[in-house]
Amino acid sequence: MRRLTFILLIVAGLFLVWMLNEVGWEKLARHLLQVGWYWPLLLLPYGVVNWLEALSWDFILLSQRHRPSLIRLYFLRLAGEALNQLTPTASIGGEPFKAVRLHADGVPWEDATASVVIQKGILVLSLVLYILLGVALAPLLLPQTVAHLGMLSLGALLLGVGALTFVLLQRQGPCLAALRFLTRLRLCPQFFKAREAELGVLDAHLAKFYREHPGRGLAALVLFFLSWLLHGVEVYLIFWLLGHPISWPLALCLDGLAMLFAALGFVIPAALGVQEGGNVLLALGFNLGATLGAAFSILRRLREAFWLSLGLLVAARER
């Protein structure tokens, strides 16, 4: 898997360089210079996004023993998401880190692990809702895109089915079921067999959350959806700074569809190349031009670089 990811990363990097070369480096430079010293404004929306997501984690975390502060959850999320983005683990490499650090802070391991699993499912579910919003807005903003929405709608539907299945399975004892399945195939590592009782406890905690605290789950879903809407604010701000303002509905639509491209490239660290290619295609589809689409991608990557670097610093300090 690591070798495959590495190969895909190289291919994606080469595609990215080729794409930017086709767009034209001089045109890109002119657009980026348009932003000037206002670029730090682009850092603000994601700071609020991470705060909303930390708040949603606080709703999901039921433990009252050694309960972490909101600022602690904020920085653990930054570190965990940096590991998710930058390691070849299909966007789940940072989840064990979050659970381990919470347990190190004194939170019972079953509460820490359950909160991470539940939050991941709700995160993906909220992302699907946001993508569906983008798909729904597209024909209203640009009627000629209707003919091209079939594949995008199919991708959103598949992602939605996967997210909903992941959430529903959490109520059905997924850990022990997976253990029994692997045992029948004679593929179950001894490490997991020795922890059958602990996995049963984790299953019980997952089921208990959905049975006894549906309101907390709904609140977390709403907070996550609001955080996605703030990504739309970021898109609006980027195009405004580039000297080509767009409407608020178009910003939401463009970002929702861009998130679908990024989600489909989850195997590649940071969806390198996939995200940029999707942004350029969407910019062309909405008559914004390839150069603006590429400039938008570069500015968003600069924002990502800042917050990912901060997250890695937090992760390094936690070691």
Full DSSP string of 43-57: GHHHHHHHHHHHHHH
Q: Using CA atoms, how far apart are residues 85 and 311, in angstroms rounded to an integer?
A: 10
Domain membership of residue 15 (yes or no) is no
Q: Using CA atoms, how far apart are residues 239 and 4, in angstroms rounded to an integer?
A: 35
Flag whether pLDDT at 11 surpasses 60: no
Q: Using CA atoms, how far apart are residues 138 and 282, in angstroms rounded to an integer?
A: 11
| pLDDT (0 to 100) of residue 217 | 92
Task: Give me the half-sphere count of Cα atoms (radius 13 Å) on the Cβ side of residue 122.
Answer: 29
Residue with the bigger pLDDT between 64 and 28: it is 64
Q: Using CA atoms, how far apart are residues 184 and 177, in angstroms rounded to an integer?
A: 11
> For residue 59, what pLDDT band results from cuts at 50, 70 and 90?
very high
Count of domains observed in the chain: 1
Q: What is the DSSP letter of 69?
A: P
Residues 6+ away with beta carbon under 8 Å from 8? 267, 268
| pLDDT (0 to 100) of residue 129 | 92
**Average pLDDT of the segment spanning 167-183:** 79
Domain membership of residue 26 (yes or no) is no
Q: Using CA atoms, how far apart are residues 202 and 68, in angstroms rounded to an integer?
A: 20
Domain membership of residue 242 (yes or no) is yes
Q: Which domain holds residue 291?
A: 41-318
Q: What is the mean pLDDT of the chain?
A: 81
Domain membership of residue 25 (yes or no) is no
Query: pLDDT (tens digit, 9 = 90+) per residue, 105-135?
Result: 999 988 999 999 999 989 989 999 999 998 8
Between 2-23 and 290-318, two packed helices, what is the crossing angle to 10 degrees? 140
Domain membership of residue 294 (yes or no) is yes
Q: Using CA atoms, how far apart are residues 195 and 181, in angstroms rounded to an integer?
A: 15
Residues 6+ away with beta carbon under 8 Å from 62? 111, 115, 209, 213, 216
Domain membership of residue 274 (yes or no) is yes
Domain membership of residue 18 (yes or no) is no
Q: Using CA atoms, how far apart are residues 52 and 74, in angstroms rounded to an integer?
A: 9
Domain membership of residue 24 (yes or no) is no
Contact call for residues 57 and 245 (beta carbons, < 8 A): no
Residue with the bigger pLDDT between 284 and 316: it is 316
Q: In 3D, which of 208, 7, 1, 233 has the Cα closest to residue 111? A: 208
Cα separation of the two ends of the chain? 25
Flag whether pLDDT at 192 surpasses 60: yes
Contact call for residues 220 and 240 (beta carbons, < 8 A): no
**Average pLDDT of the segment spanning 136-160:** 76
| pLDDT (0 to 100) of residue 3 | 62
**Average pLDDT of the segment spanning 265-279:** 67
Q: In 3D, which of 205, 302, 267, 288 has the Cα closest to residue 11? A: 267
